[in-house]
Homo-oligomer: A and B are copies of this chain.
Amino acid sequence: MARTSIATVCLSGTLEDRLEAAAAAGFDAVEIFENDLIAASDSPEQIRRRVADLGLTIDLYQPFRDAEAAPPARFAAVQRRLMAKLDLMARLGTDTILVCSSVAPDTIDDDALAADQLRHLAVLAAERGMRIAYEALAWGRHVSTWEHSWEIVRRADHPALGLCLDSFHVLSRAERHTDAYEELASLPGDRIFFLQLADAPRLDMDVLQWSRHHRLFPLQGRLDLAGFTRAVLATGYAGPLSLEVFNDVFRQADPHRTAVDARRSLTALAGELTPAPRLNGIAFAELGVDADAGPELEAQLRTLGFAHTGQHRSKPVQLWEQSRARILLNAGAPTAIRAFALESDDPAASARRASELLARPLPRRRRDSEADLTAVAAPDGTEVFFVRGPAWLDDFLPTGELPTETRIFAIDHLSLAQPFDRYDEAALFYRSVLGMSDDEAGEFAAPFGLMRTLAIRNDDRSVRLSLSVPLLRRGDWAPAVPHPQHITLLTGDITQITGTVPVPANYVDDLAARGVQATTLYDEDAHGSYRQLFTPIVGRRVFFEVVQRVGGYRGYGFANDPVRMAAQRHERIASAAGG
């Protein structure tokens, strides 16, 4: 894999915090963002030593603004400013400076002048063995496309002047990516001095605001980072893959976590990875159950038709079964979805891929006689096991109890609320580690604020995960259930399900006004319909949902989440009051 680099501006904290985080996540290099340097109290020499001690190099100093196509009267000041920055770069020990296309109102629309001035600047850089990477900002005054910046670089024709390509600036403007790729791939690779990578969601807004607030790491957004990177690498470009991501959330999140997320995105994009083995369903979900929650969760499972069929040989873990749905209750842990296991064609390869993608491996939880379950930790701490076949069931001694019901026949999906600043990281983690792809996404107004939801699934939909997050980090007002989680169970006949929270009559009346007769939550898509019921929340986080999919409905009923949340809150308040 190519060298990896990250701009200091991607991370939160002082410059020192950021450098440490980049090194700890295994980056080879950093781009030093000028504002981060200017605010730092350490001298350039101290920063240079620190970077070297951390095993990093500084591969770029950036940005240098409003350099080219300046009115001649201002150009002398530009040259003096560049000289000062080249001095600074010598002290920092870096040799490449990014010049971004001018935005100043006095910029002249004259390619010949731009080329001439950039050649002058390149001469100054070359005198010190340095070089200039020229980048077209998408909102540049006269130069706003990479083709235009290349035209000027070609015209200036100096060996110390090359291009900086930034995926955001190229892809945010490109209407037809594939055409751009052909042209990009025909560039001489040695004239590309630097490659910056950023993804982004597709937003219909001012491109400058989009760029400054909403960039994401590769594969977290909707730009075609894979195609773009392939095209640039096809030129023979041999420099680093460097991340330059301006993101409101990352700017205030723990930089060590963000740096790992960032590094994972580059590995997923360009690394040589173990292919993701085929997954064949959710083997089990494991709930932590504290002393208070145990009886209520057991009662809910029994009412849903589950039987307590097994007891773990060495741990306080119960196995509950009904048809293919298997749930473990792990006594003594906080009440939450603590773990889940996926059926993998090759558990060892699944775990190897996870480790290549910087998943934190978990210590094995086994004794000699027990099955060797391979597990990694997801960003929110959930343990993900990979198993093959039913061998893991041998760790449980039969209780003698057997399931007699078949109202529930499988786990349909798991819903995992994510901490506010780890949502994009979690989505990338599950997508890349498990080789899954995005399914339905939703945004809805919950009683205590807007929520976003994203479902991720494997090809045959045997594994589905739904991630949710509040749009804003919640304050004190939002009550009770900060990170709800649920196990969604599949039934063939939802009329057989009892023990669930009443669906509000106002909701049922609204369905009727729309011509739908149902007393459950209801949704439909082009393929079929969906009915949903749900239990009260146990403890502060966990509940069960039961769904029936009719005629190949593919969604998750996200639009009903606010109704479900309000009904659960009503039920909580009523049962707290009524006993």
Residues of A whose CB lies within 8 Å of any CB of B are 9, 12-15, 34-35, 37-41, 43-44, 77, 80-81, 84-85, 88, 203-206, 209, 213, 248-249, 251-255, 420-421, 445, 447-450, 470-478, 502, 504-507, 509-510, 512-515, 562-563, 565-567, 569-570
Complex: A204 Cα to B211 Cα, angstroms? 13
Q: Shortest CB–CB separation between residue A459 and chain B, in angstroms?
A: 30
Taking a contact as CB atoms under 8 Å apart, the answer to whether A566 and B41 are in contact is yes
Taking a contact as CB atoms under 8 Å apart, the answer to whether B478 and A39 are in contact is no
Taking a contact as CB atoms under 8 Å apart, the answer to whether B14 and A570 are in contact is yes
Taking a contact as CB atoms under 8 Å apart, the answer to whether B254 and A477 are in contact is yes
Taking a contact as CB atoms under 8 Å apart, the answer to whether A447 and B248 are in contact is no
Taking a contact as CB atoms under 8 Å apart, the answer to whether A570 and B209 are in contact is no
Q: Shortest CB–CB separation between residue A93 and chain B, in angstroms?
A: 15
Q: Shortest CB–CB separation between residue A198 and chain B, in angstroms?
A: 16
The 5 closest A-B pairs by CB, nearest first: A252-B449, A84-B513, A205-B205, A39-B566, A204-B206
Question: Which one of B44, B206, B477, B565 lies within 8 Å of A506 (CB-CB)?
Answer: B44
Among A472, A507, A515, max chain B CB count under 10 A is at A472
Taking a contact as CB atoms under 8 Å apart, the answer to whether A515 and B12 are in contact is no
Taking a contact as CB atoms under 8 Å apart, the answer to whether B41 and A567 are in contact is yes
Question: Which one of B213, B449, B567 lies within 8 Å of A12 (CB-CB)?
Answer: B449
Taking a contact as CB atoms under 8 Å apart, the answer to whether B472 and A248 are in contact is yes
Q: Sample 26 A-B pairs with CB under 8 A, ordered by A number.
A: A37-B506, A38-B506, A38-B510, A39-B507, A39-B563, A40-B504, A40-B570, A41-B567, A41-B570, A43-B506, A77-B515, A85-B513, A204-B206, A205-B209, A248-B450, A248-B471, A249-B472, A251-B445, A252-B450, A252-B475, A253-B475, A254-B475, A255-B477, A420-B475, A421-B475, A473-B474
Q: A44-B506, A251-B448, A254-B475 are in contact. List 13 more A-B contacts (CB 8 A).
A: A12-B448, A12-B449, A14-B447, A38-B504, A39-B562, A39-B563, A41-B567, A204-B205, A213-B450, A253-B475, A421-B475, A472-B472, A472-B473
List of B residues within 8 angstroms of A84 by Cβ: 509, 512-513
Question: Which one of B38, B205, B445, B565 lies within 8 Å of A563 (CB-CB)?
Answer: B38
Complex: A77 Cα to B512 Cα, angstroms? 11
Taking a contact as CB atoms under 8 Å apart, the answer to whether A252 and B474 are in contact is yes
Complex: A445 Cα to B10 Cα, angstroms? 11
Complex: A39 Cα to B15 Cα, angstroms? 48
Taking a contact as CB atoms under 8 Å apart, the answer to whether B472 and A504 are in contact is no
Complex: A15 Cα to B448 Cα, angstroms? 11
Question: Which one of B41, B249, B252, B513 lies within 8 Å of A448 (CB-CB)?
Answer: B252
Complex: A209 Cα to B209 Cα, angstroms? 14
List of B residues within 8 angstroms of A570 by Cβ: 14, 40-41
Contacts known (A505-B43, A506-B44); A248 close to B449, Cβ less than 8 A: yes
Contacts known (A35-B562, A567-B39); A450 close to B251, Cβ less than 8 A: yes
Q: Shortest CB–CB separation between residue A82 and chain B, in angstroms?
A: 9
Question: Which one of B40, B88, B514 lies within 8 Å of A81 (CB-CB)?
Answer: B514
List of B residues within 8 angstroms of A44 by Cβ: 506
Complex: A413 Cα to B471 Cα, angstroms? 34
Q: Shortest CB–CB separation between residue A7 and chain B, in angstroms?
A: 12
Q: Shortest CB–CB separation between residue A65 and chain B, in angstroms?
A: 11
The closest CB in chain B to the CB of A47 belongs to B506
Q: Shortest CB–CB separation between residue A19 and chain B, in angstroms?
A: 13
Complex: A54 Cα to B515 Cα, angstroms? 34
Complex: A449 Cα to B17 Cα, angstroms? 14
Complex: A490 Cα to B566 Cα, angstroms? 54
Complex: A507 Cα to B37 Cα, angstroms? 8
Q: Shortest CB–CB separation between residue A94 and chain B, in angstroms?
A: 14
Q: Shortest CB–CB separation between residue A89 and chain B, in angstroms?
A: 12
Q: Shortest CB–CB separation between residue A143 and chain B, in angstroms?
A: 21
Question: Which one of B38, B449, B565, B566 lies within 8 Å of A251 (CB-CB)?
Answer: B449
List of B residues within 8 angstroms of A41 by Cβ: 502, 504, 506, 566-567, 570
List of B residues within 8 angstroms of A252 by Cβ: 448-450, 470, 472, 474-475, 477-478
List of B residues within 8 angstroms of A34 by Cβ: 510
Among A34, A81, A447, A448, max chain B CB count under 10 A is at A447
Taking a contact as CB atoms under 8 Å apart, the answer to whether B35 and A445 are in contact is yes
List of B residues within 8 angstroms of A515 by Cβ: 77, 80
Complex: A81 Cα to B515 Cα, angstroms? 8
